[in-house]
Amino acid sequence: MAVKVAVNGYGTIGKRVADAISLQKDMEVVGVTKTKPDFDAKMAIKKGYRLYAAIPDRVKVFESAGLEVEGTIEDLLKEVDIVVDCSPNKIGAENKKLYEKLGVKAIFQGGEKKDVAEVSFNAIANYEEAVGKQFVRVVSCNTTGLTRLIYTIKKNFPIKKVRATMIRRVVDPKEDKKGLVNGIQPNPIKLPSHHGPDVQSILPDVNIITAAFKVPTTIMHVHSVAIEMEKDISEEDIKSAFAEEPRIMLFNSEDGFTSTAKIIEFARDLRLRYDLYENAVWEDSIGVVDGEVYVTQAINQESIVIPENIDAIRAMLELMDKEESIKETNRTLKIGVLD
């Protein structure tokens, strides 16, 4: 029998999580929440999701907009085994009180602080740590991308120190209220950035230092990563390690992948919403100089954490073991598959 899941916040992450859950045999979406009756709310109903008001006293706002809601978030939570909290940054921590009151397991996203949950999660790196837990945090898009990359190397070859510069998309594609149009914004200005410690919340033994900048683009983040290795390594060693991990996809400039714009053009032909669940690693960026590995990857901020949320549900509800869950998530989302 399928476990029952609520998606609290049907926005950028929430709608993707709901669709991904719908593809799984062992889980089902009982309902999704919205704070207002906008086009996303209408699309949720059109797709057959039962809609709930994320804020109880907003029920009448939905009704006066002609949208029928099934009840409030509290009503929804009473029907489920687990909630995936996809509300905006910091709201998840506020929602936690309700989850605790009702004794519902919850997954938080990377916009929340580490201490909101018992475990910070990345499927390939620490699935086992989330098994049976009540509160788990799927780390942010950038941390997910870095963790996958580092773990894939680390599990094959010992690493000494990681230095990464993140060039971040300033806002998501749908944004029209704010956004840097012409400039580069160190974010944070004081170095190093918080991303390093965030990776360490999953891989505590990794020595990592990060810097981050916002730039005027909406489609993907880019990471410039340098990894000092403990032992000699070849470009082929790294390429082989990446090629074996389905959640890392290799792109080559010889195929015309000269920028994130080209990677997204490819993804638009591949999947709805041009979701790219995989780290997009430029194969020809991989270089080894003086025992140090250099590599460039791009991360689609809207979709990279979706498979992690699915695997987190399975771990927390003990539905499958690590290998089985990742394999099933990859199969259903067609991760690493190009047909």
Q: Which is nearer to its own copies, 234 or 258 (CB)?
A: 258
- Under the criterion CB under 8 A, does residue 184 sit at the interface with its own copies? yes
Whichever of 50 and 214 has its CB closer to its own copies, that residue is: 214
Q: Work out how close the CB of 226 gets to its own copies at its nearest, in angstroms, rounded to a whole number.
A: 6
Q: Catalytic pick from 141, 222, 233, 264?
A: 141
Residue 142 assigned as binding residue:
yes
In the complex, least distance from residue 326 CB atom to its own copies, rounded to whole angstroms: 29
Query: What is the distance of C-alpha 146 from the center of its chain?
Result: 11
Q: What are phi and psi of 314, to 5 degrees?
A: -65, -40
Residue 86 marked in a binding site: no
Q: Is 12 annotated as a binding residue?
A: yes
Find the binder of its own copies among 294, 319, 322, 334 (CB under 8 A): 294
Residue 208 CB contacts under 8 Å (≥ 6 apart), including other chains: 146, 150, 161, 162, 163, 164, 196, 199, 200
165 near its own copies, rule: CB under 8 A: yes
Residue 280 near residue 263 (C-beta atoms within 8 A):
yes
Among 51, 220, 310, 315, binds its own copies (CB under 8 A): 220
- For the bound state, the minimum distance from the C-beta of residue 335 to its own copies, rounded and expressed in Å, comes to 23
> Is position 109 annotated in a ligand binding site?
no
Q: How far apart are CA 152 and CA 336, in angstroms?
A: 15
**The one segment of 125-133, 216-224, 302-310, 316-324 that binds its own copies by CB under 8 A:** 216-224
Task: List the one residue from 48, 66, 103, 183 that touches its own copies (CB under 8 A).
Answer: 183
Query: Quick count: other Cβ atoms within 10 Å of Cβ 115?
Result: 11
Binding mask 234-263 for its own copies (x = CB under 8 A): -------------------x----xxxxx-
Question: Which window, 61-69, 137-145, 240-248, 291-299, contacts its own copies (CB under 8 A)?
Answer: 291-299
Residues 6+ apart with CB under 8 A from 64: none
Identity of residue 313: I
Q: Would the annotation count 253 as a binding residue? A: no
Q: Based on the shown chain and the rule CB under 8 A, indicate whether residue 284 belongs to the binding site for its own copies.
A: yes
Distance between CA 41 and CA 32 in Å, rounded? Answer: 9
Residue given tokens 């062992």 in the structure block: 26
| 47 touches 10 (CB < 8 A) | no
Annotated binding residue at 219?
A: no
Q: Which two tokens stand for residue 55?
A: 């804020």
Tokens for 81? 């085994």
Contact in structure between 166 and 209 (CB atoms under 8 Å): no
C-alpha to C-alpha distances, 305 to 52, 111, 186, 310, 313, nearest whole angstrom? 24, 12, 24, 9, 13
Residues 95/88, Cβ–Cβ less than 8 Å = no
- Spatial distance between the Cα atoms of 293 and 235, rounded to a whole number of angstroms: 8
The DSSP letter of residue 90 is T
- 78 CB-near residues (< 8 Å, 6+ apart): 102
CA–CA distance, 164 with 228 (Å, rounded to integer): 11
Shortest Cβ distance from residue 245 to its own copies (Å)?
Answer: 20
CB under 8 A: which stretch of 74-82, 210-218, 269-277, 331-339 binds its own copies? Answer: 210-218
Q: Is 86 a catalytic residue?
A: no
The answer to the question of residue 285 lying near its own copies (CB under 8 A) is yes
Q: Is 48 annotated as a binding residue?
A: no
Name the DSSP class of 36.
Answer: S
Cite the annotated binding site for NAD(+) by residue number: 12-13, 111, 169, 301
Would you tell me which residues interact with its own copies (CB under 8 A)?
A: 163, 165, 167, 169, 180, 182-186, 189-192, 207, 209, 211, 213-222, 224, 226, 253, 258-262, 264, 282, 284-287, 289-290, 292, 294-296, 298
Which residues make up each annotated binding site for D-glyceraldehyde 3-phosphate?
Answer: 140-142, 195-196
**Active-site annotation, residues:** 141
Residue positions forming the annotated binding site:
12-13, 111, 140-142, 169, 195-196, 301
